[in-house]
Chains A and B, each alone.
Chain A
Amino acid sequence: MADTPNAAGEAAAPGMPQLDVSTFENQIFWLLIALLAIYFVLSRVALPRIAGILAERQGTITNDIAAAEDLKAKALDAEAAYDKALADARAEAQRISGETKAAIQADLDVAIEKADAEIAAKAAESEKAIAEIRAGAQEAIKEVAKDTAKEIVAHLGGKADARSITAAVTSRMKG
């Protein structure tokens, strides 16, 4: 087709622009310039910069991981200290509660003892009073019984001496 004149095209355009040897020098020249430019831009500026960024990021990540490990160890220490403090506090609380209990027990014992003593004293006093009252009452009953017996005997027409009546009343009252 290249050897037949191309009526539709304006000039003697070759069918395939890719095979137009007259443009090769031009393309190759500008291509080499472009490749060199890209190579210098990449190798001088872009690639070292990106490599630096990536290295820096790697360093940051490594540092952060180390810091995190550090903080974790610290947290573990803190937890251990906390546990220890807790155990100490518990032991202390147990000790204090034991002591308090003992003190209260002692106070209680003293108070109970005192109360017991008081109660015993009161009881003894009361017993004494009751005994006195009883003795009084017995005495009075004896008198009344004697008198009554003497009166009854006298009434019945007998004569009773005081001694036998007393003996009889006493024996009766015992029985």
Chain B
Amino acid sequence: MADDAKGGGGLSFKPMDQFQVKPLFGDYGDPIHWYTITNVTLWLGLAILAVIALMVLTTSKRDVVPGRGQSIAELMYGFVYKMVEDVTGKDGIKYFPYIMTLFMFILCANFLGLIPMSFTTTSHIAVTAILGFGVFFAVTILGFVKNGASFLGLFWVSSAPLPLRPVLAIIEIISYFVRPVSHSIRLAGNMMAGHAVLKVFAGFAQVAAIAPVAIIGVMAIYGLEVLVSAIQAYVFTILTCVYLKDALHPHH
């Protein structure tokens, strides 16, 4: 693509530029230390504010008959609460605040990323890997703490015929360790792919003849992205619940 741009005549697509991490104060290309305030900081901070606005400010009146904002907060609460209860059972309820944190963060970050010119924090593998591996390590440690060595029964499928069990155990172990990878890459990949496709369609608008089609395409993809943002937050959360259930009840 850069070759096309160098050639001069072609379209210039820069679908990945939107994901660049830049210092908020200072020039692009300045060294980024761990404490540097970047656009990541800005959009993560906005995600925090969005969570506060959604969950705290709307419920400040504590109405018995909820208003619009309070209904949304209660809906989110009930949705995640029911998900945790349905998937992990009664003993998973005490991990509900952690799962709610994950859900609210991913949902708000995904939706904030859909604002034009914004920066999508959840499209970065570094961010989602922390989320995914955090869930993985937390769930694995929790499984060993709760069940001791019998947590390894997760990999020993006792319902299968005996000769097959070692083979199945290997497959189960591999799939267990692939979990955090797919868990994090799914979220980052979906976000990145959607935003890159938006940029590519926007790039087509440089040609006047196909600009209307390109703009309609951008609108359609944007609608799809809104859906994908919500679904990916839901999927990340429900998979976290499924892994948590495996840790709490490791026997098939």
Contact = CB atoms under 8 A, between A and B. Distances in A.
A17 B21 contact: yes
Contact of A23 (B32, B55, B101): B32
Interface residues of B, number: 55
A33 B96 CA distance: 20
Interface string A39-58: 10111011101111110110
B55 A42 contact: yes
Contacts of A8: 2, 5-6, 12
Contacts of A13: 20
A122 to B, nearest CB: 91
A57 B62 CA distance: 10
B74 A27 contact: no
B125 interface: yes
A13 B21 CA distance: 11
Tell me if A's interface is mostly helix, strand, loop or mixed: helix
B59 to A, nearest CB: 5
Point out which of A1, A19, A24, A46 has the most chain B C-beta atoms below 10 A from its C-beta: A46
B100 A47 contact: yes
Contacts of A46: 55-56, 59, 73
A6 B6 CA distance: 9
Contacts of B121: 27, 31
Contacts of B17: 17
Chain A interface size band reads 35 or more
Given A7-B2, A11-B29, A53-B59, A32 B52 contact: no
B48 interface: yes
Contacts of A7: 2, 5-6
Contact of B41 (A22, A25, A30): A30
Interface string B113-132: 00000000101111100110
